[in-house]
Chain A
């Protein structure tokens, strides 16, 4: 009965291999620095020390708002993925159209420069 779980085991092994390869590659090709923010305990752009009332740069909010949108839209991919075989080519083209509409939004965001960090 364990045979049904082999694909999952395979997935775990694959995930482990990929993660390991990336860690390994970054040791060889990565650019390493010991300066500046890199040494901070919490290196996500926020100052680790100081008052908590400091205003956070607006860029964080912007990215968060965009993330909500694109993240939630993916929810429509799940039901499609479950029955994508049954839906066949028609379902596939519909999904392509949906993704194109999402892409329009993405291109708009790019064109307005909302994802530029500097």
Chain B
């Protein structure tokens, strides 16, 4: 029997990997994958809690989160395409027009 804490630890580790990926990766596509990983870590936690607590709500939340993640991915990829047309690169260090 795997206890709830194992799932939470996995979710937290995935979330941490995603956060780290967003912070240190220099390629926008990898950055997007890290963002999706963070959302999915949250989904995993919600599903695990939902199973543990025997409350079905969590499953519905995950459906909603999936739709949100898809919308975000679509908008993000569309923006990457426009940016790539303007700049011909995906390295985020090159997006430095504005600095303080």
Contact = CB atoms under 8 A, between A and B. Distances in A.
Interface of A: 58, 61, 64-66, 68-69, 71-73, 75-76, 79
A65 B77 contact: yes
B95 interface: no
Contacts of A71: 70
A75 B66 contact: yes
Contacts of B77: 61, 64-65
B70 A61 contact: no
A72 B66 CA distance: 7
Contacts of A61: 77, 81
Give the bracket for the number of chain B residues in contact with chain A.
10 to 19
Residue of A65, A71, A79 with most partner-chain B CB within 10 A = A65
Nearest to A73: B67
**Secondary structure of the A contact surface, majority rule:** helix
Contacts of B67: 72-73, 75-76
B60 A68 contact: no
B20 interface: no
A76 to B, nearest CB: 6
19 contacts: A61-B77, A61-B81, A64-B77, A65-B74, A65-B77, A65-B78, A66-B74, A68-B70, A69-B70, A69-B74, A72-B67, A72-B70, A75-B63, A75-B66, A75-B67, A76-B63, A76-B67, A79-B60, A79-B63
Interface in B42-75: 60, 63, 66-67, 69-71, 73-74
